[in-house]
Amino acid sequence: MISGSNLEQVLISGRFAVTGELGPPQNGNFDVVRDKARILKGHVDAVNITDCQTAIVRMSSLTAGLIALAEGVEPVMQMTCRDRNRIGIQSDILGASALGIKNLLCLTGDHQKFGNHPQSKGVFDMDSIQLLDMVKTMRDGKKFQCGDEIKSHEPRFFLGAAANPFADPFEYRPLRVAKKVKAGASFIQTQIIYNVEKFARFMDIVRDLGLHEKVYILAGVTPPKSVGMARYMKKFVPGLDVTDEVIDRLKGAKDPKEEGINICVDIIKQVREIAGVAGVHIMAIEWEQAVPEIVSLAGLSPRPAPRRVDPRLRSSEAIDLIVSKAKEEAKAEIEKTLEQAKAEAQASRDLVLKEKGKITSEVSNLKRQLEEANAIADRKEAEIGRLMKELKETRDGRVHVRSVRRSVSDDADSALSSCSSRALTSLRSGLEALRKGLGINEDQLEALKRLFEVELLLSSDTAEQVTATFDEAPVPVERREKPEADSRHKEVVNLVAKGNVLLHKNDAAGAVDAFERALAIEPEDQKAGEGLKKAKEALEYTVSLEEAEAPAVPEGIPPCPEGMSPEEWQRKWVIRLVAIGNVQLYKGDVDKALKSFKLALELKPDDEKAKAGLLKAESGEAAGVPVPAEPDAPQKAEVPSSPVPKIAKVPEEVKTEAKREVPVTTVPTVIEGLTVFELPKETGTLSEREGSIQENLFKESCTGAIREISLGEGERAIRLGGASTLPFHLFEGDMPHVPQIAFGILDSEPEDWPDVLSKYYSDVFSDPVAWAKKCIDHYGAKAICLSLVSTDPNGMNRPSSEAAKKAQAVIEGIDVPVVLWGCGNAEKDTETLREVTGLIGNRKVCIGPLSDANYRSLGATAMAFHLPVVASSPIDVNLAKQLNILLENLGLSLDQILMDPSIGAIGYGIEYSYSVMERIRLAALTQQDEKLQVPFICNLGREVWKTKECRLPSDAHMGDQEHRGVLMEAITASTLLLAGGELMVMMHPKAVALTEALIKGMV
C-alpha cells in the first residue's frame, strides 16, 4: 500500500476500476463542484479533478478536489507543469497531502496557447516525467527536489500519469509509459479511445515491455454527445483518433445521446477484453449525468463501497447543518422585519386617509367658490351684453362692435376673463363720465369709443387682427378726468400694449408717445418704462418709411409727471423733440422740424443731436434728402409687398382689399433703355427638338451629384445645389434648385461706389438694417450678403464687437437668409464672426470666407453652431478641394459648405474663374470627386463695380454708364451661372432683375 487510497485498494484488489472526471467551474461556485461530485458518488472509485484543462482558468484542482472529498468522493488531483515552478508545485503537494488527498496525476499540461490566456508565460520548469520523479522522491526519499530533507509528514501519493496511444511516433509511446513508470507512476490513464484496434496494438507493446505488471492501465473513454462533438474532437483535438465508424453510428442514430452512451459502453466492453487493462477512466465532459448509466450498462455496477475516504475538512452534512441553522435565524430576522414594515405601512395608510379627507373638504370648498365666481361671471356677461347693445346704438353700426362681439361670443363658453369684463364696465362708466363732464361732441365720443374698444381687444389675444389706427382723436392726458384707480391701471396697461404694438409695427414715435402717456398716468409702471426706453432706441435707429402724418410739434414742455424729477422729464422731452424733428425732417416738413429742434435747444441748449438736426434742417438738406431715386419709385408699387405688415391708415377691410390688388409678378419694371425681358421658354424636350438624332449621341449623363445646402430658416429659407447635371443641362439630369441671387450690402458707407449704383442705396447707407430691408422690400431680395468691410484692419478697422452688433441688428431685423462676409483678413474675420455667432443665438447665418488661414477656428465655430460656411480658396481646383478636405477632417459636413472659388469680373480674369469652376464641376459630376460636390457661391458684385469700366462716365464712345455697369454685372453673373454657380452675390437691382429673368427663362 502506497497511499491507501480507495483507487489504490480497488486496483490492488484486482477489480476492474472505474474513475470519472470532474471539471471545476470557471468561477468560485462551490455548488457546481458539489453537485457534480454527488452525481458521480457511488458510481466511480475515484474522480479526476482537472488542473485548468486546456489552459483555461478554473477553480484550482486542489480546492475542487477538497470539495469532492468532503462529499465522500475520492479525488485524483491533477497537477500540471505549465503554471507553477518546482517551488509552487511542491508547496501545493504538501497542502494536498495535509488535507487528505491521496491520488496525484502528473501531467505536463496543455500549452497555454490553447487557453484563454495565450499571452502568458508558460513555466515548464520540468516535464511530467520529471514531476513524477520529484513527487516520488518526496514520498520515498523524503526529500525535496533540491535534496533537502522532509523531516516528517512527507506527502504520500498514489501517483498516476497519462499516455496517448494515438500520438506519434507510435512506437515511442509504450517506451514513454515505461519511462513514466520508472519515474514513479503507479497507474496510467490513457487518452480517449475510439480506435480500439490501435489501442490494442499499443497494449501489445506495453505487454511486451512487461509494463502491465508494473502499472495499472485505465483506458480512457468518452461518450460522444453528438455528431458535432465527435467531428470537433476528430478535427481539432491533437492526438485524438475518432473513427469514421463512431461518426457514422451517431449520424444514423435516432437519439444521438443514447447512441453516444451505447458507443461508450461498447468500447468499455471491448477494452475490458484486452489483457493488461485494469480499469476505465470515463471522461463525460460536462455530462456527468451519463456516468451512472454507462457504468451500469457496462456491467460495472455496483462499485465496491469506498473505504478510507475520510475528509480532513468538514463534511457537507455538517455544512448543511450550519447552513440550515443560519437559514432559520435569517428567517426569524426577516419575519421580524416584515412585521415591523407591515405596522409602518398601516400607519402611513391611516395618515393618507386622513389627508385625503382633508383634501376632499378643501376641494369641495374650492368648488363652491368656483361656482360663486361663475355666477358672478354670468352676471357680468349679461351686463356686457347690455353694454354691447348700447354701444351698437350709439354708433352708426359699423365695424368694431362686430369684432368685439365676435370675440365675446368666441369666449362665451369659457366666460369672459374678469379682466375684460372689468375693462368693459370701466369703459362704460368712463364714457358716461366723459360725456357728462366734458360735453364733448359726437365725433369725439365716437372716436374715443373706438379707441377703447380696440385697446381692449389689443390687450386680449385677438390683437393681431386689429390694424385700425390709434392716432385718431388722441386724447390729451391733461384733459382727462381722473378715473377711478382700477380703470386708471387698465388705461396704463392698454397704453403699454398699444405702445408695444406700435413699436412692433416700427412706429417708434407713436410708441414713444403711448409709453409716455402711460408713464404720465402711472410713472412707476415698469413695463411702460422699459417700453419707452426701447421705443426711444428704435426711434433713434429707424427712420419711419411710411407716410404717416407727422406728430404735431408739442408746444412747450408738458407738466412733469409724478415720480420723475423735473430734470429727468426735461431730458426725456428733449429726446422726444429731437426724434420728432428728425421724423419731420425726413418727411420733408422742414418748418416743423426746425420748430422741434429749436424747442429742444431752448430746453437744452447744448444738445448735440438737436444742434445737428437744426443744422440739417436749416441747410435745407431735407429737400435734398433723396426722395429715393426715380427708378424705384414706380417700381415700388409693383414689387410684391413685403411680408412685414406696415402701419396702414386704412381700416382692416380696406387694407385687405388693397393687398389683393397688389400684382403678384416678380419681374421688375422696364428700365429705360434696357428691356428686362422674359426669355421664351423651350416648349419641347431636347430629344423632341433634335428629332432624328439619337439621344445617346448628345446625352451624357453624370454619375455624381452636387450636395444640397440650406440657407436661412423658416419659410424664407432657400435651398441650393442638388444638381446631377451640368448647369441648365436639364435634358441630361436634374437641377432641383434654381440658382439664387443675394443682394450684397455693406456694414458701412461704401467709399468708392459709382453714382449709378449708390443712388439706389444712398438713403440707407448709414443703416445696414434699413439697407437690407430696402433690398428685400423694394427689390425683392431673396437673400442678403452683408460684407463686414468696416472691420478691415487696413481700412476703418472697426472693432469686432461693434461690427458684430451691427451685423446682429441686420440678422435679427430681416427674415431672409443672410451670408456674413468678413473683410478678408483671416484673423479679424475669425474674431468678428465668432463675436456675431455669440450674439445671434440660434439664427442660422452663413459665415465666410473660411480660408486655409482660419478654417480651423471658424470651422470649429460653424460646427458648434451648425452654421453653413463659405470655403474660400484662390482660383485653384486642388486648393478648393484641399480646403474642403481640411474642413471635413475637422468634422464639418460637406453639406455645410459653399465653395467660393474666387472669381473675377468680366474682362478681369473671368475666363480663369470659369475654367476652374468648370473643372471642379466636371470632377464633381463625372469623376465622382466627392470632395468637390459642393455648391458654389460667387461674390461678383463687388468685383464688377470696382472695375474701371463701371466708373468711366457716360460718353459717346462708352455709352451710358449705368447700362454699362448693369450689363457688366449681369453678364458676369450669367457666365458664372453657366460655369455652375449656385448663389450669386450682386448689387445693382437692375442687374439682378436681368439675371433673374435669365434664370427663369432657362429652367
Partner 1 sequence: MIIAEQKPLDEIMEMISGVEKLLVLGCRGCVAVCSAGGDKEVGVLASALRLGRKKAGKPIEIDEETYVRQCDPEYLEPLKEDGKKYDAVLSMACGVGVNFIADRCPGVNVLPALNTTFYGANLSSGEWAEMCAGCGACILHLTGGLCPVARCAKSLSNGPCGGSVGGRCEINKDVPCIWHQICDKLTSRKQDQLLREIVPIRDWRPSGHGGPRRRIREDLLP
Partner 2 sequence: MNRLKNNSYQVGKIVAFCCNYTASVSTDTLRDADLIPENLDVRKLPCTGCIEVSALLDAFEQGAEAVFVAGCRSGECHNLSGSRRAEKRVVYTKRLLEELNIDPDRVEMFFVHRGETQPIVDAVRQMTRRILKLGQLHST
Interface with partner 1 by CB under 8 A: which residues? 81-82, 86, 108-111, 113-114, 122, 124-130, 133-134, 145, 162-164, 167-169, 171-172, 175-176, 178-179, 182-183, 191, 238-239
User: Which of partner 2, partner 1, none sits in contact with 929, Cβ below 5 to 8 A by type?
Assistant: partner 2
**Residue 970 in 3-state DSSP?**
helix
At its nearest, how many Å lie between partner 1 and the CB of residue 168? 5
At its nearest, how many Å lie between partner 1 and the CB of residue 850? 20
Task: Name the residue among 887, 804, 807 with its Cα closest to residue 852.
Answer: 887
At its nearest, how many Å lie between partner 1 and the CB of residue 83? 12
User: Which of partner 1, partner 2, none sits in contact with 500, Cβ below 5 to 8 A by type?
Assistant: none
Q: At what angle do helices 485-504 and 418-438 cross, to 10 degrees?
A: 100
At its nearest, how many Å lie between partner 1 and the CB of residue 183? 6
477, 510 Cβ separation under 8 angstroms: no
Q: What is the DSSP letter of 949?
A: G
Residue among 66 and 104 whose Cβ is closer to partner 1: 104
Residue among 512 and 880 whose Cβ is closer to partner 2: 880
Residue among 917 and 966 whose Cβ is closer to partner 2: 917
At its nearest, how many Å lie between partner 1 and the CB of residue 119? 14
**CA 550 distance to own-chain centroid:** 52
Residue among 716 and 919 whose Cβ is closer to partner 2: 919
Residue among 182 and 257 whose Cβ is closer to partner 1: 182
At its nearest, how many Å lie between partner 2 and the CB of residue 141? 57
Task: Name the residue among 673, 679, 739, 750 with its Cα closest to residue 711.
Answer: 739
Q: At what angle do helices 399-410 and 442-459 cross, to 10 degrees?
A: 30
At its nearest, how many Å lie between partner 2 and the CB of residue 855? 13
User: Which of partner 2, partner 1, none sits in contact with 163, Cβ below 5 to 8 A by type?
Assistant: partner 1
- For residue 187, which phi and psi values (nearest 5 degrees)? -140, 155
Residue among 175 and 875 whose Cβ is closer to partner 2: 875
Hey, what's the cell of 705? Answer: 451629384
User: Which of partner 1, partner 2, none sits in contact with 649, Cβ below 5 to 8 A by type?
Assistant: none
Residue among 157 and 569 whose Cβ is closer to partner 1: 157
Residue among 167 and 475 whose Cβ is closer to partner 1: 167
Strands 718-721 and 708-711: what pairing? antiparallel
At its nearest, how many Å lie between partner 2 and the CB of residue 887? 13
| Pure H helices in 542-690 | 566-587, 590-603, 608-618, 621-624, 632-638, 652-661, 686-690
Residue among 268 and 923 whose Cβ is closer to partner 2: 923
849, 855 Cβ separation under 8 angstroms: no
At its nearest, how many Å lie between partner 2 and the CB of residue 881? 7
d(CA 922, CA 933): 10
User: Which of partner 1, partner 2, none sits in contact with 878, Cβ below 5 to 8 A by type?
Assistant: partner 2
User: Which of partner 2, partner 1, none sits in contact with 167, Cβ below 5 to 8 A by type?
Assistant: partner 1
745, 732 Cβ separation under 8 angstroms: no
Residue among 102 and 707 whose Cβ is closer to partner 2: 707
At its nearest, how many Å lie between partner 2 and the CB of residue 929? 6
d(CA 497, CA 506): 14
At its nearest, how many Å lie between partner 1 and the CB of residue 960? 55
At its nearest, how many Å lie between partner 1 and the CB of residue 180? 9
169: CB partners within 8 A, 6+ apart = none
Hey, what's the cell of 375? Answer: 355666477
861, 836 Cβ separation under 8 angstroms: no
933, 704 Cβ separation under 8 angstroms: yes
**First-to-last CA distance in the chain?**
107
162: CB partners within 8 A, 6+ apart = 105, 107, 128, 188, 189, 190, 191
Residue among 480 and 919 whose Cβ is closer to partner 2: 919
User: Which of partner 1, partner 2, none sits in contact with 881, Cβ below 5 to 8 A by type?
Assistant: partner 2
Residues lying near partner 2 in the complex (CB under 8 A) are found at 877-879, 881-882, 885, 919, 923, 927-929, 931
At its nearest, how many Å lie between partner 1 and the CB of residue 169? 5
617, 597 Cβ separation under 8 angstroms: yes
User: Which of partner 2, partner 1, none sits in contact with 111, Cβ below 5 to 8 A by type?
Assistant: partner 1
d(CA 901, CA 881): 10
550: CB partners within 8 A, 6+ apart = 580, 583, 584, 587, 589, 592
920, 980 Cβ separation under 8 angstroms: yes
Residue among 207 and 234 whose Cβ is closer to partner 1: 234
Hey, what's the cell of 747? Answer: 456694414
d(CA 201, CA 214): 19
Residue among 73 and 106 whose Cβ is closer to partner 1: 106
Helices (runs of H) and strands (runs of E) counted in the chain: 36, 18
| Pure H helices in 285-415 | 290-297, 316-394, 399-410
Residue among 36 and 82 whose Cβ is closer to partner 1: 82
